[in-house]
C-alpha cells in the first residue's frame, strides 16, 4: 500500500474521530517506518504526559524509570514493575499505565513484528486518551469525583449508567474533539517526516 494513502486515511479518520479506523491505520503507517522511528513517537508522547501522571502519583517513580530504560536500551527490562499492574485513580492514569506496558511489549524482540507494531499503535492510542481525559477532568474536576462516587448508578431519566453519561459528556466535548483530532494529525505529520527522512 502506498504510504501517502495510509497517511491520507489516517488524517481523514482523525477528522471523523473514527477510532476503529484510526488504530488500524496507525498500525499500517507504523509498519511503513523503521520500528525505532515509531517507538520514538510513542516515547515522546509518554514523556510529555509523565508530569501529569507524576503530579497525581508522586510515588510511581517506576513510570519514569521504565521510560528512561526504553529510551536508553530500545528494549524492555527483564521484568515490568509490579506497580504497573495496579489501578491508578486519576483521570487518564490507567490509559497511561496501559500505554507504558504496551510500549514495553512492543520492544520485545522475540514477539512477532506485526504484534509489536500493534502494541505500539495501541500504546499511542492510549496516550492520546490519557491526555484527553486528564485535560477534560482538569477542566471539570467535579465530574471525576461524581463519576467515582455514582458511576455505577443508573440515571432515572435515561436509564443509562452515570459513568456512561459522564463519559459521553467528556467524549463529545468540542475542546476534547479538537484536541483528539489535532493529536492524530500531529502523529500523521511526524510519520510523514520519518517516511521522507
> How many structural domains does the chain have?
1
pLDDT at 86 over 90: no
- The SS3 of residue 154 is strand
pLDDT at 2 over 70: no
The model carries a pTM of 0.94
What confidence tens digit (pLDDT) does each residue in 21-40 have? 999 999 999 999 999 999 99
pLDDT at 54 over 60: yes
Query: The domain containing residue 93 runs over which residues?
Result: 3-196
Amino acid at each position: 500500500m502506498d504510504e501517502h494513502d495510509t497517511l491520507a486515511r489516517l488524517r481523514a479518520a482523525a477528522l471523523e474521530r473514527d477510532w476503529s479506523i484510526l488504530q488500524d491505520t496507525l498500525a499500517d503507517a507504523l509498519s511503513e517506518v523503521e520500528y525505532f522511528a515509531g517507538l520514538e513517537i510513542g516515547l515522546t508522547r509518554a514523556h510529555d504526559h509523565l508530569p501529569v501522571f507524576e503530579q497525581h502519583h508522586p510515588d510511581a517513580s517506576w513510570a519514569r524509570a521504565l521510560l528512561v530504560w526504553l529510551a536508553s536500551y530500545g528494549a524492555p527490562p527483564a521484568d515490568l514493575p509490579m506497580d504497573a499492574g495496579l489501578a491508578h485513580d486519576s483521570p487518564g492514569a490507567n490509559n497511561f499505565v496501559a500505554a507504558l506496558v504496551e510500549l514495553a511489549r512492543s520492544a520485545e524482540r522475540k514477539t512477532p513484528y506485526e504484534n509489536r507494531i500493534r502494541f505500539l499503535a495501541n500504546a499511542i492510542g492510549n496516550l492520546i486518551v490519557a491526555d484527553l481525559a486528564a485535560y477534560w477532568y482538569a477542566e471539570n474536576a467535579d465530574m471525576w469525583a461524581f463519576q467515582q462516587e455514582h458511576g455505577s448508578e443508573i440515571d432515572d431519566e435515561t436509564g443509562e449508567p452515570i459513568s456512561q453519561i459522564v463519559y459521553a459528556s467528556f467524549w463529545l466535548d468540542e475542546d476534547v474533539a479538537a484536541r483528539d483530532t489535532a493529536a492524530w494529525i500531529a502523529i500523521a505529520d511526524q510519520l510523514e517526516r520519518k517516511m521522507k527522512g
